[in-house]
Structure 1
C-alpha cells in the first residue's frame, strides 16, 4: 500500500556524469495516488453522450465549473470558427488568382529561339 518511488534524472553520457556528478538528480520519495472520478448511475444515463455537465469530470473539475468554463470558451470558439472560414475563403481566392496568373504566363511565354 505504501509503495514509494523516486525519479532519477541524469545524462545518458556516463563520461559527462563522471565529470559533472551534480547533473544527476534524484527526487524525494513519492507515493503514487490514482484518483478515479466516479459518476452516479443517473448521471451516466443523462450524460451518456458525453455532452452533459460532467464531461470534464475526468480532469478533476466539478460539473458546474466545467459548464462555466465551456460557456466562457463558447464565444471564443465561435469567433475562431468564423475566422477559419474567412481564411479558407481568402486562401481559395488566392489559389484561383495564382492559377489564372500561371495560365496567363504560360500563354505569354516565348518559346526559346534556336540560335
Structure 2
C-alpha cells in the first residue's frame, strides 16, 4: 500500500536547515533516515522538503471570488508542514513505524495517510 508521510517541524527546525552551526546535524539525521528507507525498499517516492511557511501563498475560492494571500494555510500552527515522502509498505502499522523513526517525530509531528 502507498502512504504519504507528511512531516511537520518547528520554526527552529526550519532555521536549522541553513544555519551554519546546526545544518550538518539537522541534515545528517534526515539523510540517515532516508537511506534507511531506501535500504528497506519502502521509499516509493523520495519526496522533498518544503520552504518555510512564509514563502507560500494560500488561495481560496469564496462565493466565486478568488482570494489569495501570503503565507501557508494554518501559518499559526506550532509545527507547520515541512516535507513529504511516499512509502510503499504493507499496512498502516508499518507506515506508522517508519514515521516514528523520522527526525520530525521527536521534535514536531509526522502524519501518514493512505494514498489512492
Higher strand share: 2
* TM-score bracket, shorter-length normalisation: under 0.3
Higher helix share: 1
TM-score by length of 2: 0.20
Larger Rg: 1
TM-score by length of 1: 0.20
